Each structure stands twice: as C-alpha cells, then as structure tokens.
Structure 1
Amino acid sequence: MATFLGIDYPTCWFLLVGAVFTGYIILDGFDLGAGIIHLFFTKEESRRIALNAIGPVWDGNEVWIVIGGGALFAGFPEVYASLLSAFYVPFILFLLGIIFRAISIEFRSKEPMLWWRRMWDISYCASSTLIAFLLGVILGNVTEGINMGPDHVFRGSFTEFLNPYALLTGVTTVALLMMHGAIYLVMKTENRLYTKLTLIVKDATIFFVIMILLTSFYTLLYLPKMAAVIRNYPELFVVPVMMVLTIANITRQITKRKYLYAFISSAVTISLLMILVAMELYPNMLVSTQSPANNLTVYNASSSQKTLGIMLVVAAIGVPLVVGYTTFVFVTFKGKVKLDEMSY
C-alpha cells in the first residue's frame, strides 16, 4: 500500500478530511456563534456592528465545508454516499439554514423598515442556531453509530437521529459556537457593545462548560467504547487532559480580558474535540449499530490508491492556497469594526 510520510494513503485522507472539517467548524463556527447571539443585541447600531464584524469573512469561511465535502467524495465516495443518504433530512435542513443565513445577512440592509430588519434578524439567528445544532446532531450520530445494513444503506428512520446523545451533542455544539462567536465579537467591538459582550461571553462560557460536562458524563456512562481507545493506548490520555486545560484557559483569559488568547484556546478546544472523535472512530468512518462487519472503514471505503495519490497532489496545492487567502482576509480586516456607508 502506498504511503506518504510513512502514513498509508487512506489514513492520510482520513486525517485530511478531518482537518478540513475542523477548519470549517473553527472558522464558520464564530460566524454561527455571532448569529446565535444576534438577538441579544437590542440596538440597531449594535446589530449592524455585529454583522459587519463577520461581513468580510463569513462567505469565505463557508468555502471550507465545500472543500470538506469534495475531499470526502474524492477520498471515500462510499462514505459520502452512505452519509448523505442516511442523513438526507438533516442535510437538507442544514442547506436551508445555510441559504437563509446568507440571504438574511444580505437582505437585512436592503430596506429601512423596522419589520423588515427584525424579520431578517430573527431568520439570521434561527438559521445560525439550526446549522450549529444539526452539526452537533450529525456528529453525535456518527460517533454513536447508525442503523446501517451490510449493503451500507441506512435502515432506520429520521426519528432515530433524535436520540438523547445526538440531541445533547447538538446543544453542546450550539453552546460551544455561542462562546466562540461571542469571543470573536468582543475582539472586534468597543465602547458599550464591548461592555455588553463581555457579559455575554461569560454567560456563554458557563453554558458551554455545563454542556461539555454533561456530554462527557453521558459519554462515559453510556458509550464506554469511546473510553476504550484511551484505555488501550494510555498515551492518548494527553488529548482529553489538554482539552480540559484549554477550556480552563478560556475562562482564565476571559477573566483577564485577554480575548485573543481566549479565542485561540477556543479554536484549540474545537480541534481537540474533533481529535477525540477521530480517535474513537479510526479506522472506522461510519459505524453500523447492526454489526461491526457492516462498518465503513478508511480501507474498505476509500478510492483506489492511484486516485488517492493524485488527489493528495491536488490537495497539497489547493489547501495552502485556501489557507493563504483566509489569512490574507483576516489580516486585511483586522481591528475594531467601524460603520460607514458601505456597511451592512
């Protein structure tokens, strides 16, 4: 089997797909978080400032989900097919959320009427919350396993997705992105809105800490297989330890009002959570609750070695370009938000 830097091609693509989706959650996550807390701002000026804080970057951040979907299709077409067919309804709702979030941001400032702007404010908040919740629900179901037959076709119903663990993961994801988005906004604002956001950040962080503790307890009690990996490989215990330390550092930096460091710690927390999921899944990508023989793994669901090799070259060229563009945008629009005639 062909390797890259000593890692076989299917595992390389597993890591690449995971890294791209992690990048999406980190980058579009603070956009979603800003939308979730949007209705907490009561003044028109505050809402405009909050929208303009993400204005230059939100649509570029969505590119990462497109790259992630393309990477999954290229590297693991059978996983792509089974995943999207199984989660058909959640993904349709996810796409509707993406659409309504975009038009809410763009349409809000087109008319001056109060009812018009309030309508799109509610749509923006609702769609952002829906996207974040569905991301958590899908992740929770993938982690727990789905009712998949030997032909890798989903045998269950939509209601199976709304199990306690998936719902808990969905709410935890909303809490995480609320905190992530609030920290980003507080870095971009000043004066009275900055003061209000310092309070929202604290409340959102408390909400996230409570939810991550509940999710962790549920996981240890009802999903012991997730802890089995760490028991079998004790050196991996460093990952949950690092996650606890980064969450503690978020609260520490917020207390000291060093929000850039808090934002970095929040991004690292998201990365470590995704690493924990990857650790639990590998070498599986989709786990069947019917039988382990039905699982889709990085080996039985990957494209041919030649395809993976060619696409690795494409990824080696394309991903740095996207990273460079993203970095350029953030550097260009750094600093506090100021309203002008070109603002939302």
Structure 2
Amino acid sequence: MLADIWFFLWGLLWAMYFVLDGFDLGAGTLMPFVAKSDDEKRTLLNAAGPFWDGNEVWLITAGGVTFAAFPQVYAAMFSGLYTALMLLLFALIVRAVSFEFRGKLDGPGWRKLWDGCQFVGSAAPAILLGVAFANIFAGLPVAEDGFIRAGILDLLNPYGLAGGVLFLTLFMVHGAIWLCIRSGGELHARARTAATVLWPVLVFVVLGFLVMTAVSTNLYANYLENPVLLLVPLVAVAGLVSMRVFIGARAWWKAFFASAATILGCTFFGIVGLFPALIPSSIDAAYSLTTRNASASELNMTIMLGVAAVFVPIVLIYQFWTYKTFATRLTQDDLDYDEAY
C-alpha cells in the first residue's frame, strides 16, 4: 500500500517539476526568437529570475524520492541512463551559470555567449526529459539482474525523440504564456504570437505522440481495463482546449493554469498507464521494476511520508509567497534594480 502511495507521489513530484520549471525552460528556449534587444533579453531572464532555482527543488525532490522510496529504480536508471542524466545535469548547470554571468561584463560577445548557453541549457533538459520518459513508457532493456542494458544512442529511437519533441513543445507554449504575463511591449507581442502559433503545433505533436504510444507501448492497457481512468487524459484535453480559448481572450493567467493542467494531465497519463511498473522491461515483463519488487522497506517509506507531510507544505507556502510577490509585469524600474539580471 505504501509503495503504491509513493508511486503516485513520485509521479506528482515529476508533474510539479514539469509545470513549474517548464515555463522557464520554455522561455529560455524561446529567447532567440522573441527577445531581440538587450532589454528584452534581460526582461526574459528576470521573468524567470525569482522562480527558476526554487522550481528546481521539485527536480531534486523527485530524484530524492526515487533514491529513497525505489532504490532499485534509482540504481537501474544510473546503469542505463547515466549519460542522459549527466547531460541533463550539465545542461542545467550551464543554464544556471548563464543567469549569473551574463551581466558581469558589457561586451556583446560575452552576452551572446551566455544567451546561447541559456538557450541550450533550456532546450536540452526539455528534450532529454522527454526522451527519457518516453523510453520508460515504452520499456527499457532491464535484465534479470535489474540493470538496464542500453546506451544513449539506444534512447534516440523514434518514440523517444517524439517524447523529446512533445516536452519541448509543451514547455515552449507554457513559457510563451508566462512571458505574456510578465512582459510588455514588443516582447509581449512576440510571446503572444509564439503562443498562438505554437498551440496548433502542440495539438499535432500530442496527437502524433498518442498514436505512437498505442503502437510502441502498453500504456493503454490500464485504461482499457478501467475506463474510469480516462478522466486522467481528459484533464489534458480540457486543458489543451481551454488554453486556446484563453490565449484568444488574452486571459493570460487562465491560459497559464490551463497549460499547467495540460502538463499535469499528460504526465499522469503516462504515470497511470505505467502502474504498477516504474520501469517496464522490454526483455521480459518478469524483469520489470515495479512498486512490488523495487520499493524500500515499509519503515523507510513510513518515515518518508512523515517527513513529506511536514516539509512539502513548507515548500508550497514558500513558493506561493514567491509567485504572489513577484509574478507581476516587469517594468524598466525592475531592470534598473541592482539585483536584476
């Protein structure tokens, strides 16, 4: 029972990370396309400024839960996904440094270098996360000893790449909407155009991914056995449709929450489809890592549940305060502030 609870908490932590860090990854990916002047680039960076590092708490937490609640899964991931995970880590490091170093010198070459790092450090994690999760959905070659017999090139299959495109597109739309909330002038206009243009692209990518999922995975089995579970992907559909309505109405906060619902629905579509497996084996279903054979002890998960009950609300309160305080439209005064990027 506790293992099943932690399975869904594990999925929720990943979903929270995708929703919260997704918009600043998406905004960073859009930088070369929507931010033209130096002030517009600084506005884009400051739109994510008070939030991006706090958002990554959810990534650390999701990784920590994997390690503590499902240690065999953690070990297996680093046996077969080590290169991909290291690339993800290095990309996030480069992105973090780009925030801090860009404004240290005034030379155009210096700033162009860190603008490029911001783009790569934003786009690469989105793609890598999508590739990794799509491969997990399809199943990885988990052998009898619990190790994954795969390398980075094995992950770059058509379905894995489709997952990368899906995550990148989801995050770019999410980021464009966030920029519409926090920016004005020409940057706001370009972000609005980006959100409008990317939405139908996202619909096309989602539909293509769903078709490929039916061919490449067994995710639909749980839904066919329990049709009531179809309410989960319906959340994503409702969010996707509502997003377009709110974009058209220029209701940006509503569009943002609709985009968040889309990401949550897409994530839990995969999580619910996987259950009870965390990493299905493409070699033999008996070798799959599940909530039954890959979880920590009951005592360990009980202690973790108590710790989570105390600290997760603290993180949520802190982040609520942060968004309530800083999620306003940026002005020139904000860019002139000494601590601004």
Q: TM (normalized to structure 2)?
A: 0.96
Structure 2 SS opposite 1:154: coil
1:87-106 to 2 correspondences below 5 Å: 87-106=81-100
Which of 115, 119, 122 pairs up with 1:121? 115
Unaligned stretches of 5+ residues in structure 2:
none
Whole-angstrom CA distance in 2 between matches of 1:84 and 1:21: 17
For the 8 Å contact 2:159–2:216, the answer to whether it is kept is: no
Equivalent-residue separation in structure 1 for 2:12 and 2:38 (angstroms) = 37
* Cα distance in 2 between the residues matched to 1:263 and 1:84: 34
2:307 corresponds to which residue?
314
The offset of 1:224, in angstroms, is 5.8
* CA offsets 1:48-80 (integer angstroms, 9 cap, x no match): 111111111111111111111111111111111
2:175 matched residue in structure 1: 181
Q: For residue 39 of structure 1, report the CA deviation from its aligned partner.
A: 0.8
2: distance between equivalents of 1:61 and 1:30? 10
Instruction: Supply the distance in 1 between the matched residues of 2:54 and 2:275 (Cα, whole angstroms).
Output: 30
More moved, 22-31 vs 237-246: 237-246
**Amino acid in structure 2 at the alignment position of 1:255:** G
The 5-angstrom pairing of residues 13-162 of structure 1 reads 13-40=6-33, 41-162=35-156
Q: Give the aligned residue type for 1:230.
A: Y
1:218 matched to 2:205? The reply is no
Q: Tell me the equivalent position of 1:341.
A: 337
Over the matched positions of the two proteins, sequence identity in percent amounts to 36
State the alpha-carbon separation in 2 of the partners of residues 123 and 114 from structure 1: 14
**Alignment correspondent of 2:272:** 279
The code of the aligned residue for 2:3 comes to: P
Distance 2:152 2:120 in 1: 21
State the Cα deviation string for residues 245-281 of structure 1 (Å, max 9, x = none): 2101111110111111110011111111111111111
Superposed displacement of residue 216, structure 1: 1.3
Q: 1:113 to 1:153 in 2, by over 3 A?
A: same
1:324-339 to 2 correspondence within 5 Å?
Answer: 324-338=317-331, 339=335
The residue type paired with residue 150 of structure 1 is E
Kindly provide the amino acid, as one letter, of the partner of residue 138 in structure 1: A
Amino acid at match of 2:155: F
Aligned counterpart, 1:245: 238
CA pair 157-193 structure 1, distance change in 2 beyond 3 A: closer
Residues of 1 paired with 2:150 and 2:329: CA distance? Answer: 49
Offset, 1:196: 1.8
Q: Which moved more, 1:230-239 or 1:72-81?
A: 230-239
What secondary structure sits across from 1:37 in the alignment?
Answer: helix
Counterpart of 2:278 in 1: which secondary structure? strand
C-alpha change, 1:240 and 1:341, in structure 2 (3 Å) is closer
Q: How many residues align?
A: 336
Aligned residue for 1:98, secondary structure, equals helix
- Structure 2: distance between partners of 1:295 and 1:196: 46
Q: What is the deviation of 1:204?
A: 2.1
For residue 285 of structure 1, give the secondary structure of its aligned residue in structure 2: strand
| Distance (Å, rounded) in 1 between the aligned partners of 2:256 and 2:282 | 37
Q: Match for 2:257 among 251, 261, 264?
A: 264
For residues 123-149 of structure 1, what are the alpha-carbon distances to aligned partners after superposition, in whole Å with 9 as ceiling and x for unaligned?
Answer: 110111001000000000110000110
What TM-score do the two structures reach when normalised by structure 1?
0.95
Shift of residue 285, structure 1, vs aligned partner:
0.7
Contact 2:166 2:209 in 1 (8 A): yes
